[in-house]
Amino acid sequence: MQIGKVIGRVTATRKDERLVGTKLLIAQPIRLDGTLTGTPIIAVDTVGAGVGEQVIFVVGSMAARAIANEGAPVDAAIVGIIDSLDSEQ
């Protein structure tokens, strides 16, 4: 899984019907010190994350497991809100 920060939200009226009702957040991958790295992605929120929160997100087919509608074409999902990152770095 990756460490990210929720930086925003996407709205899309015309979308796959199995994405209707999902909360599409913009997750920016971050380093351990919180600085930004890589490209923001769109992830389905499954734990009530809000803008500014540090989160755990999963990518690829495993992301679809986190979604209520497991048949949805989803490749990224937020599956945790980080309390703390304890690291040597």
Q: Is 61 helix (H, G, I), strand (E, B) or coil?
A: helix
2 binds its own copies (CB under 8 A): yes
Give the nearer residue to its own copies in terms of CB position, either 21 or 39.
39
Task: Return the number of other C-beta atoms located less than 10 Å from residue 33's C-beta.
Answer: 8
The two three-digit tokens of residue 50, written as one number:
């809000």
Q: Which amino acid does the sequence have at 27?
A: A
28 binds its own copies (CB under 8 A): yes
Q: What is the spatial distance between Cα 76 and Cα 63, in angstroms, rounded to a whole number?
A: 5
58 binds its own copies (CB under 8 A): yes
71 binds its own copies (CB under 8 A): yes
Residues that bind its own copies (CB under 8 A): 1-3, 7-16, 19, 24, 26, 28-29, 31-32, 37-43, 46-48, 51-52, 56, 58-66, 71-77, 79-89
